């Protein structure tokens, strides 16, 4: 028993792990909540685009010697808003426009990256991310940004829900649907920058989409979707970080894989899609047969 | 439709022109999507208390007309007034129900959640629905006969139940103007009667209902007025004018037959290719409807 406790508490002796866990939990909370909207609005592709678009922002910030965060945030939020604008203007097929923007921005990042003289290790770190290397200062920034995002989303959740479910009905009845959409995408940009630190540009979309997708398999109410997605993300973050500590593997990848396994389990065992459901359904027929069968057998018994 | 009414063109007041307020006024409105024109030069006044059916073939611009009234589409030109103010000014007194195909039925919300949304714009930011909101939601659910399915996920409803839920959402908002896109399409006869009863009751309290429909008999029998639309406003008139052969032909662009059989009146839209088959049928041209 005390061994088990030690297994859980030992890693906490390290400052890296303390900060990493805290950051992981905060990122998971925001991603769970924002991810619910991403999944409901079908914005997964946009999430991917915005995270890749943050890259040139990071490189430019690096080249200018300003905080990387700032560069990443500006690029991500600007891209998110540009996408919202393109989608409102229409004309071009939406996913085409997003694809073009996203590839172009990432290419710009790579191009700028190759102009950097010498080694830029911390920049490369942003591609895969490592929440264990987060500094105390970054942790504070991350916590503040995350709290702002969460506070706004929770304050406007009714309105965001209505505008997401039925934009026409919401707008006709006086909700500022266009502004809510810009706000949501702007917040998505901030969320992505916050999360990049934990799991890196490449995996950030999984952080947003997977817990919410898992939750969607398990519940059918929006309010429960938000809380379950956040809970799943937090649990995955903690488990992933312990795994990364003991197995000495990359933290971001470990977190995302735990989330993916949880999704697989929900798929297999969930109330609607799962095997259990199917077994239960298919058992209905044999049950009925065996019951009526037993009557016949009983009749034969002298 | 008399010569005098024709001469007035599309500016046909639906009721006696002096009575009461105007719920919706379109003044030479032209609107479309991107570069494609959908409706041109629509001039229309809908008095408060109207129960107006908008009819026309697929792609005629019925949904477009509803959307432009709801402020969801900006007109290219022309002016719109709803409930006495410019578009958007009185939005909280308007309920819009989209065509069913536009709704994501997999969305994780229950019947009760959807109906409560009708209250959201009136509750205000950061506030939860209060006792009065809950009471209005319950009352709306009871009115459409859905109170026992309040916890059901909306995807697990039949087509008719879905229409009932959206009408309940509109009712819960206590609007003065209902803009409904095909509220009774794909529902059984009983549901259609129920929903039309509810809408008619609303207009009796001075509220205005404007709804699109493909069911010409329903338009004739259950609505008070009708607007014929096909890329423009062909005409407006009392519900009985649905049976005006010439207007129907002008609106639907084909041969329209009105058959009087033992089962009652049938309006048949006959496209030009088949008009030989139908020629054997007896034709009745109704001036006043039923
Ligand atoms: N979002 C859109 N983008 C581009 N064109 C559109 C859009 N919606 C409608 N249209 C076009 O505008 C015209 C009018 O469409 P509208 O939806 O108003 O027709 P409708 O009368 O409601 O048809 P239905 O009976 O099929 O519902 C059609 O030609 C249609 O193709
Ligand atoms: Mg339509």
Q: Which residues of B touch A216 (CB under 8 A)?
A: 108
pLDDT tens track for B122-142: 998 989 999 999 999 999 999
Residues 6+ apart with CB under 8 A from B73: B31, B33, B64, B67
Instruction: List CB contacts (< 8 A) between B117 and chain A.
Output: 161-162, 165-166, 169-170
DSSP H helix total and E strand total for chain B = 10, 12
* A170 Cα distance to chain centroid: 26
Q: Which of B30, B32, B60, B251 best tests ligand 1's pocket when mutated (most atoms within 8 Å of CB)?
A: B60
Residues 6+ apart with CB under 8 A from A117: none
Best mutation target, B36, B99, B108, B183, to test chain A (most A CBs within 10 A): B108
Nearest ligand 1 atom to alpha carbon B182: 27
Q: Is B183 on the interface with A (CB under 8 A)?
A: no
User: Ligand 1: distance of its center to the CA of B37 in Å?
Assistant: 10
Pairing of strands B225-229, B208-212: unpaired
A168 and B153: CB-CB below 8 Å?
no
Q: Whose CA is nearest to atom 14 of ligand 1?
A: B61
Structure tokens at A152: 């706004």
Question: How far is it, in rounded angstroms, from Cα B203 to Cα B222?
Answer: 12
- The pLDDT averaged over each successive group of 10 residues in chain A (302 residues) is 81 86 93 93 83 88 85 87 76 72 85 80 74 85 93 95 94 94 91 84 88 92 93 95 91 92 91 68 48 35 34
Quick check: A173 contacting B, CB < 8 Å? yes
- Contact of A169 with chain B, judged by CB distance below 8 Å, is answered with yes
What is the DSSP annotation of A23-76? HHHHHHHHHHHHHHHHHHHT-HHHHHHHHHHHHHHHHHHHHHTS-HHHHHHHHH
Q: What residues of chain A lie within 8 A of the CB of B96, using their CB?
A: 168-169, 172-173
CATH code: domain A14-287 is 1.10.3470.10
CA B256 – CA B156 distance, rounded (Å): 38
Residue contact B98–A156, C-beta within 8 A: no
A177: helix, strand or coil: helix
The predicted structure's pLDDT at residue B270: 54
Q: Kindly state whether A91 is in contact with chain B, defined as any CB-CB distance less than 8 angstroms.
A: yes
Q: How far is A156 from chain B (nearest CA, A)?
A: 6
Distance from C-alpha of A101 to C-alpha of A84, rounded to nearest angstrom: 12
Is some CB atom of chain A closer than 8 A to the CB atom of B108? yes
Residue A121 is predicted with a pLDDT of: 66
Chain B positions in Cβ-Cβ contact with residue A225 (cut-off 8 Å):
108
State the pLDDT at residue B257: 56
Select from B95, B103, B104 the Cβ nearest to the Cβ of A173. Answer: B95
Q: List, as one string, the DSSP characters of B17-68.
A: TTSS-EEEEEEEEEEEETTEEEEEEEEEEEETT-EEEEE--TTSSHHHHHHH
**In this complex, which of B34, B70, B117 lies closest to A172 when CB atoms are compared?**
B70
CA–CA separation, B177 and B170 (whole Å): 10
B66 CB near a chain A CB, below 8 Å? no
Is residue A172 less than 8 Å (CB to CB) from chain B?
A: yes
The low-confidence residues of chain B, meaning pLDDT below 50, are: 1-13, 15-18, 272-290
Mind listing the pLDDT tens digit for each residue in B193-233?
A: 999 999 999 999 999 999 999 988 899 899 999 999 999 99
DSSP bridge pairs for A29 = none
CB A13: neighbour CB atoms within 10 A? 8
Taking CB atoms and an 8 Å cutoff, what residues of chain A touch B179?
Answer: 172
Tell which one of B30, B59, B68, B75 to mutate to probe ligand 1, the residue whose CB is within 8 A of the most ligand atoms. Answer: B59
Domain range summary for chain A, segments of one domain joined by +: 14-287
Residue A301 to residues A294, A295, A297, B70: CA-CA distances in angstroms? 11, 10, 7, 74
Closest Cα to residue B154, out of A271, A222, A287?
Answer: A222
């Amino acid at each position: 028993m005390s061994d088990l406790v030690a297994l859980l508490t030992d890693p906490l002796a390290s400052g890296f792990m303390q900060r990493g866990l805290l950051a992981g939990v905060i990122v998971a909370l925001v991603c769970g909540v924002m991810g619910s909207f991403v999944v409901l609005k079908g914005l997964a592709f946009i999430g991917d685009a915005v995270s890749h678009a943050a890259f040139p922002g990071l490189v430019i910030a690096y080249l200018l010697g300003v905080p990387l965060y700032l560069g990443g945030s500006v690029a991500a939020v600007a891209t998110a808003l540009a996408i919202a604008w393109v989608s409102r203007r229409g004309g071009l097929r939406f996913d085409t426009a997003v694809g073009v923007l996203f590839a172009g921005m990432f290419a710009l990042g790579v191009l700028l990256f190759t102009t950097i003289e010498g080694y830029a290790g911390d920049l490369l770190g942003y591609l895969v991310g490592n929440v264990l290397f987060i500094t105390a200062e970054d942790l504070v920034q991350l916590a503040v940004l995350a709290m702002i995002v969460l506070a706004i989303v929770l304050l406007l959740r009714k309105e965001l829900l209505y505008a997401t479910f039925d934009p026409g009905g919401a707008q006709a009845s006086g909700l500022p649907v266009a502004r809510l959409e810009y706000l949501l995408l702007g917040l998505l940009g901030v969320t992505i920058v916050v999360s990049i630190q934990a799991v890196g540009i490449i995996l950030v979309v999984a952080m947003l989409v997977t817990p919410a997708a898992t939750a969607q398999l398990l519940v059918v109410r929006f309010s429960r979707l938000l809380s379950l997605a956040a809970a799943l993300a937090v649990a995955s973050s903690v488990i992933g970080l312990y795994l990364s500590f003991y197995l000495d593997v990359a933290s971001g990848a470990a977190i995302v894989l735990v989330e993916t396994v949880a999704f697989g389990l929900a798929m297999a065992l969930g109330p609607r899609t799962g095997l259990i459901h199917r077994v239960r359904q298919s058992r209905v027929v044999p049950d009925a047969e065996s019951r009526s069968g037993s009557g016949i057998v009983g009749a034969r018994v002298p | 439709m008399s010569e005098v009414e024709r001469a007035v063109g599309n500016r046909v007041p639906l009721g006696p022109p002096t009575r009461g307020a105007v719920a919706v006024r379109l003044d030479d409105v032209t609107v479309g999507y991107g570069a494609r024109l959908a409706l041109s030069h629509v001039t229309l006044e809908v008095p408060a208390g109207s129960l107006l059916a908008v009819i026309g073939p697929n792609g005629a611009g019925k949904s477009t007309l509803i959307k432009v009234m709801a402020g969801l589409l900006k007109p290219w030109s022309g002016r719109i007034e709803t409930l006495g103010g410019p578009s958007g000014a009185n939005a909280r007194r308007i309920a819009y129900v989209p065509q069913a195909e536009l709704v994501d039925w997999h969305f994780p919300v229950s019947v009760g959640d959807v109906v409560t949304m009708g209250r959201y714009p009136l509750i205000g930011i950061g506030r939860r629905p209060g006792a009065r909101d809950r009471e209005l939601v319950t009352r709306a659910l009871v009115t459409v006969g859905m109170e026992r399915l309040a916890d059901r996920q909306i995807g697990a409803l039949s087509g008719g139940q879905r229409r009932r839920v959206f009408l309940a959402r509109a009712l819960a908002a206590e609007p003065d103007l209902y803009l409904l896109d095909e509220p009774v399409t794909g529902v059984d006869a009983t549901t259609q009667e129920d929903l039309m009863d509810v809408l008619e009751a609303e207009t009796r309290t001075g509220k205005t209902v404007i709804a699109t429909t493909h069911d010409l008999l329903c338009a004739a029998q259950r609505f008070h007025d009708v607007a014929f639309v096909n890329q423009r406003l062909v005409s407006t008139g009392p519900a009985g004018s649905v049976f005006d052969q010439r207007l129907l032909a002008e609106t639907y662009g084909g041969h329209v037959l009105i058959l009087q059989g033992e089962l009652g009146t049938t309006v048949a839209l006959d496209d030009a290719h088949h008009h030989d088959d139908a020629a054997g049928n007896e034709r009745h041209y109704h001036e006043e409807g039923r």
